[in-house]
Structure 1
């Protein structure tokens, strides 16, 4: 990966809807070489996809919480079962396994506190192998959806 590839990535992280022609102009290439580089970045997995960034509040999901999960047992089958169960909950928009305590961090969206409470009681509290859940509410997003540094 060279400086031109990094420029392509930087431009696409700012605006993933750029045409190849506009992208080529911005990175100082002609269209054909830019297109080849773009396809290679996609083929190699450096670019894993394209999507729209949706404002959660605008679609009625303005309540967000971080849920810390501490496992009672961490055998292979329990970890797999927990991760599959978490992946099946649409309101969990990000889930990360951590070193140390807690074991997982979940970012959860819902319409309001009542919807979060229902989700917590009916889905999160029933996750396999969980010893303890601890939640905190998101007050404000300070940095969100920032492009990766080049």
Structure 2
């Protein structure tokens, strides 16, 4: 990966809908080499996809909670990870070093909806020993760009 590839990635992180023509112009390439580099970045998995940045409040999902999860033991870790991957309301999930074992980012309509999700889904996940929730008061920064 060279400086031009990094420039392509920086620009696409700012505007994923940018046309290849505009992208080529901004990074100092002609269209064909820009297309080739873009395809290589996609095929190699550097670019994982393109998405719309949706405002959660505009789609009635303004309630956000961070949930710290501690598992009883490591025997259920794979099952836990698999189940978490299938749940749409969990929009981010990280496995952590130390305690707790996982951090989940959960979206809901409101507090009662989150409480139902907690009672009906989170506590039933494989191997859960302890759940600790904290409510997000305000997002200061989201959709961060990688410092390429």
For normalisation by structure 2, the TM-score amounts to 0.98
Q: 1:122 aligns with which of 120, 123, 129?
A: 120
Q: How far off its partner does 1:123 sit?
A: 0.2
Q: Give the CA deviation at 1:107.
A: 0.0
In structure 2, list runs of 5 or more residues that go unmatched: none
Distance 2:2 2:80 in 1: 40
SS at match of 2:74: coil
Q: What does 1:36-47 correspond to in 2, within 5 Å?
A: 36-47=36-47
Q: How many residues in Structure 1 have an aligned counterpart in Structure 2?
A: 148
Distance in 1 (CA, whole Å) between partners of 2:144 and 2:120 is 33
Equivalent-residue separation in structure 2 for 1:66 and 1:19 (angstroms): 36
Offset from partner CA, 1:51-85 (integer Å, 9 cap, x none): 1111111100000000000011112xx11111122
Q: What residue number does 1:20 align with?
A: 20
Q: Tell me the residue number matched to 1:72.
A: 72
- 1:1-150 to 2 correspondence within 5 Å? 1-75=1-75, 78-150=76-148
Structure 1 portions without partners, runs of 5+? none
> Which segments of structure 1 move beyond 3 Å, counting only runs of 4 or more?
none
Q: Distance in 2 between matches of 1:88 and 1:28?
A: 42
TM-score, scaled to structure 1? 0.96
Measured on the aligned residues, the alpha-carbon RMSD in Å equals 0.7
3-state SS of 2:49 partner: coil
